[in-house]
Amino acid sequence: MLQPRPYRSIAVIGAGSWGTALAAAAARAGCAVRLHARRGEVADDINASRRNRAYLGDATLSANIEASTNLAHVLEGADAVLLVIPSSAIRDTARSMAPLMRAGALAATPVVTCAKGVEAQSGMLLVDVVREEMPGQPVAILSGPTFADEVAVDMPTTVTIASDRVPEDPLERGIAARLALTMSSGGFRAYISDDTTGVGIGGAMKNVIAIACGISRGAGFRANMTAALITRGLAEMTLLATVLGGRADTIAGLSGLGDLTLTCSSEQSRNLRFGLQLGAGARREQTFGGAPVVVEGVRNAVSVTDLARKHGLALAICEAVRAIVHDGADIVATLGDLWAQPIEAEAQEINVAFRHPDPAMVREKIKEMIG
């Protein structure tokens, strides 16, 4: 079997919790890491104290990590670039990076999207946004069931790294394989894929489903409903991914089922906590005590359902989250409508559906249980 060559110099764009955690993982694997921070005080803290106290508490960072606010300096000499910023900032950041990446030595350097989402305006997956802003640049995506604080202190973690396969090259020579070998060290283990679409859809949709699970729990429902939402949410993820050209087995893996399970089951997830607060009666602007917390599932509830509608798909759970979060729909009525949907086959291949035998009774039961 061919052994891929690891990368040795990694640039990480984004010094939030996830960017810093990935920088820590790369440094533990022996890479020289430059980390781009927007704020000078964050870069100074990392360089002086080996901490990123603004985003990652007291986790100690390797001396192999150099933080800087100078984007050109961070990119200089990089073998690979990890783009670890909120999904809403991907396009502008990629556009800013493009002229720097076109410079000779960086033209063949892969750019790896590590954010999760679908762009609101275009309906594009984030890896495709990078492709559009950096034509000809090699791209990849890293995703999976991860909490940044656990990665930062080297708790066991698995991710999927996907890149397009070059027809004349075997997968083990590709970007995903080289990145997996580069990052895998200690508790951090990477698997490889050539399905960037499936990996991207899993990361975008799991946050929306997590909000649904939070709303359910916050409203007083128990484990049975959570299990139903996770399982049927997985079916919605699979449906959209396969329509877009992704594979069902990708959604059954780390970047789909794995990430969905983590995000829907742990209150470390901002998306789950957001839903819990909504389900308990808080208005959207009251969640997190009014603090401006980034909850990726909020914007993705719109971008994912817009994308699905464009392809003629009805994603009932994602549509319910969109209705509650963005349209002010009543939680009781929306959950009642969700449970009163027509009876249908579980397998996508069986195209059958018929009216629920007593939708009014179901809606009343949901109302009774919440009330």
Name every residue whose Cβ is closer than 8 Å to that of residue 161 and which is 6 or more positions away in sequence: 112, 140, 141, 142, 176, 179, 180, 183, 190, 191, 192, 193
User: Could you write out the DSSP letters of every residue in 311-371?
Assistant: TT---HHHHHHHHHHHS---HHHHHHHHHTSPEE-SSTTS--EE--S-HHHHHHHHHHHH-
- Cα(336)–Cα(324) distance, integer angstroms: 13
282 burial (CB, 10 Å; 0-12 / 13-18 / 19+) is middle
Task: State both tokens at 264.
Answer: 């829907």
Residue that has been written with the tokens 């069931």 in this structure: 145
Question: How many Å separate Cα 165 from the centre of its chain?
Answer: 22
According to DSSP, residue 285 is labeled G
116 catalytic per annotation: no
User: Could you write out the DSSP letters of every residue in 49-111?
Assistant: HS--TTTSTT----TTEEEES-HHHHHTT-SEEEE-S-GGGHHHHHHHHHHHHTSGGGTT--E
172 touches 211 (CB < 8 A): no
- Cα(107)–Cα(156) distance, integer angstroms: 34
Which residues partner with 160 through β-bridges? Answer: 143, 191
Which residues partner with 138 through β-bridges? Answer: none
Q: How many Cα neighbours within 13 Å face the side chain of 359?
A: 14
Instruction: Tell me which of 206, 310, 365, 367 is the catalytic residue.
Output: 206
164, amino acid identity: D
32-41 core/surface letters (b: 16 or more CB in 10 A; e: else): bbbbbbeeee
Angle among Cα 364, 368, 370 to the nearest 5 degrees reads: 120
First to last CA, the chain: 61
Catalytically annotated residues: 206
